[in-house]
Structure 1
Amino acid sequence: MKKVNSKAEAIALLRDELNTWENILANMSQAQIHAPIVPSHWSTKDVVAHLWAWQLRSNARLEAATTNTEPRMPEWPVTLDPEVPEEPDELNAWIYEQYRDKPWPDVYQDWQNGYLKLMSLGEALPEADLLEVSKYSWLEGYSMADVLASSADHHEEHREWLVEWLNSEEAG
């Protein structure tokens, strides 16, 4: 995870990643949006829905920080704990099943709105609260800046995979 040292740096990191994603998505055809990203069975639509689903957790944390309350996490199966490193594949499969039939315009709008909310909530927090590691006990040793950086890293990880596929012959 990238380490950010200021609120401006965290927001710039998110803004750059958003702009990069927006440019990529704007240049993709509908066929590319819905085609499986080889060797996976997930399409770009599925990846964007996946990113949005995880944004819900980040936004819950940021909302809690701005209101000084405990986070109200999205309702995911209690048997799939996102904090357990061994379970992301099962949880990601569950997320895929939840959103695979959702139309692309809705997936895109949810993701975009969620991302903009993430940046807005990050901007609303005082810098000291954003950077302080021990400020929120429910973050267990992480700062809110880490939450923002982690979201940018998650997007970057999937973007690199998507760009590699778009540059391949399989993408058409």
Structure 2
Amino acid sequence: MTDQKSKAELLEMRRALYANFDALIAGLSEQQLQMPGVSGDWSVKDHIAHLTFWERLNLLEMLKSIDQGTNWIDSGLESTEEVRDKTNQQIYLQNKDRSLAEVLSEFQVTHQQVIEYLEKLGEEELKTPYKWLEGYTIITWLSEPNGHYQEHEQFIRDWLTKQSNTKK
């Protein structure tokens, strides 16, 4: 577990994660964003839709629950690798035919909503251990290294490296 950060540090870190990911995808053409093969059949667009889904389902809904003073009910979708894989396949199938503009817009809106809730919540709420996070605080949970953004960013970087090596 990482050291407890402040709310300001958490916000800075979340903004940086998004900015790094956004800079990576901003440097890609529309064709690259939609080309399958980043991971199996997944394109960069599919990775973005995947990140957006989990960000909405887990983080955004959790922050809303804290703000409203209600208990967050874990969807249970991450409970086993098999369930997670099936859910990820469903996310892919639901989003693969959506337009790039729509997927990018939803990604940006979701990020902004997460930031708004993080800004709205008090330091104490972000530093309270929650049982649904197995005693972690929101700040500690979101500060763990090698998070979801970094994982998918690495998939994309590895794919781009392979693409550039095959062109040589």
TM-score, length-scaled by structure 2: 0.85
CA distance in 1, matches of 2:48, 2:146: 13
CA contact (8 A) 2:38 2:44 kept: no
User: Mean alpha-carbon deviation: is it higher for 23-32 or for 43-52?
Assistant: 23-32
Q: How does 1:82-161 map to 2 (within 5 A)?
A: 82-86=77-81, 87-133=83-129, 136-149=130-143, 153-161=147-155
Deviation at 1:107, TM superposition (A): 0.5
Percent sequence identity over matched residues?
Answer: 29
Three-state SS of the structure 2 residue aligned to 1:40 is coil
Q: How many residues align?
A: 164
Which portions of structure 1, spanning 4 or more consecutive aligned residues, are displaced by more than 4 angstroms? 1-4
Deviation at 1:83, TM superposition (A): 3.4
- Per-residue Cα deviation, 1:33-82 (whole angstroms, up to 9, x for no partner): 011234521000100000000011210000111111133778xxxxxx31
Query: Which residue does the alignment assign to 1:67?
Result: 68
Deviation at 1:146, TM superposition (A): 3.8
- Per-residue Cα deviation, 1:76-105 (whole angstroms, up to 9, x for no partner): xxxxx3131322111111111111111110
CA contact (8 A) 2:49 2:103 kept: yes
Residue 52 to residue 39, structure 1, CA distance change in 2 (3 Å): closer
CA distance in 2, matches of 1:13, 1:164: 23
Query: Which residue does the alignment assign to 1:41?
Result: 41
CA RMSD of aligned residues (A): 2.4
Query: Which residue does the alignment assign to 1:24?
Result: 24
- Per-residue Cα deviation, 1:94-127 (whole angstroms, up to 9, x for no partner): 1111111111101001011101111121121111
CA contact (8 A) 1:58 1:148 kept: no
Residue 112 to residue 120, structure 1, CA distance change in 2 (3 Å): same
CA distance in 2, matches of 1:164, 1:3: 30
TM-score, length-scaled by structure 1: 0.83
CA distance in 2, matches of 1:3, 1:37: 37
